Amino acid sequence: MKTDSIFYQLFQTFPRCFFELLNLPENTVNEYEFSSVEIKQLAFRIDGVFLPDDEDKLIYFVEVQFQKDEQFYSRFFSEIFLYLHQTKLSNNWQGVVIYPNRKVETSNTSRYQELLNSDRVKRFYLNELDNIESIGLKTLKLIISPQKEAIEQGKGLIQQVKQEFNDTKQKENILQLIETILVYKLPLISRQEIEKMFSLSDLRETKVYQEALEEGIEQGRQQGELAAKIASIPRLVALGLSVEQIAQALDLDIEQVRKSVKSN
């Protein structure tokens, strides 16, 4: 799963979930603009930065870390301090690190313990988010949910979005976001579960589902053509054509033709 792009899209589309994670008032989101920033010279890139609308509010540096990296904290703090050095902003700051679970976090923290134990840094482990009711936090949780649970959670989220959001555009954006998270999980979900998931009328209308449907139809058509070609091979053999000639005539691999000949 492409977690970096998923979280970037999540915070770009629905930044409220970030401030819900920090347990800040809902309207805090109106005071910030989310972006990804590149640090000059060393080409560092911070996953996300929430920049406030005035100098009295904190800058939030966000990093999503889903793989174990013993150098993570050295890179994280280097990026932050380089950014603070290069920017003209005078705001105070806080770092926020999002992990799927504690196992991913590096144990190499001794040089940064004072920072990690202070209010400078908040660490969140998505598998420990319990008893959550908000759409934002449920969407965050969906990213790391087991596949079978994700299907039911996705359905519940869709219904909650439909009930809580009156703005059509915002509702569509969040539904698209939920759909994107679910689609990234598709390679590891059985066909029956996929069909069950896409029985939702909301998802049937989405762009990704329509593209997947068209792709499935095309694959089915190609499989039908392939079956017809393979079925014709015995007749061509009976006419005296060689394996190579049949492969060329039917636009098949020679191995496909040989396998069919052997099986007959």
Highest mean pLDDT (candidates 75-84, 90-99, 242-251): 90-99
Asked if residue 83 lies in contact with residue 39, where contact means CB atoms within 8 angstroms, the answer is yes
> Does residue 113 surpass a pLDDT of 90?
yes
Mention every residue, 6+ apart, whose C-beta is less than 8 A from residue 71.
Answer: 106, 108
Asked if residue 182 lies in contact with residue 200, where contact means CB atoms within 8 angstroms, the answer is no
Model pTM? 0.68
CATH topology of domain 1-129: Trna Endonuclease; Chain: A, domain 1 (3.40.1350)
Asked if residue 135 lies in contact with residue 157, where contact means CB atoms within 8 angstroms, the answer is yes
Per-residue confidence band for 95, with pLDDT thresholds at 50, 70 and 90: very high
Cα dihedral 48, 18, 26, 185 sign:
positive
Task: Determine the pLDDT at residue 193.
Answer: 58
Residue keyed to tokens 């990093």: 63
Per-residue confidence band for 259, with pLDDT thresholds at 50, 70 and 90: confident
Lowest-pLDDT range of 14-23, 71-80, 196-205, 249-258: 196-205
**What tens digit of pLDDT does each residue of 117-173 get?**
999 999 999 999 988 889 999 999 998 888 778 878 888 888 888 888 888 888 878
Task: Determine the pLDDT at residue 199.
Answer: 46
> Does residue 41 surpass a pLDDT of 60?
no
Q: How far apart are the C-alpha atoms of 35 and 12, rounded to whole Å? A: 8
Task: Determine the pLDDT at residue 99.
Answer: 94
Domain limits, the chain: 1-129, 219-263
CATH topology of domain 219-263: Arc Repressor Mutant, subunit A (1.10.10)
> Does residue 190 surpass a pLDDT of 60?
no
Task: Determine the pLDDT at residue 17.
Answer: 92
Lowest-pLDDT range of 1-10, 15-24, 64-73: 1-10
- In the predicted model, what is the mean pLDDT of residues 191-205? 52
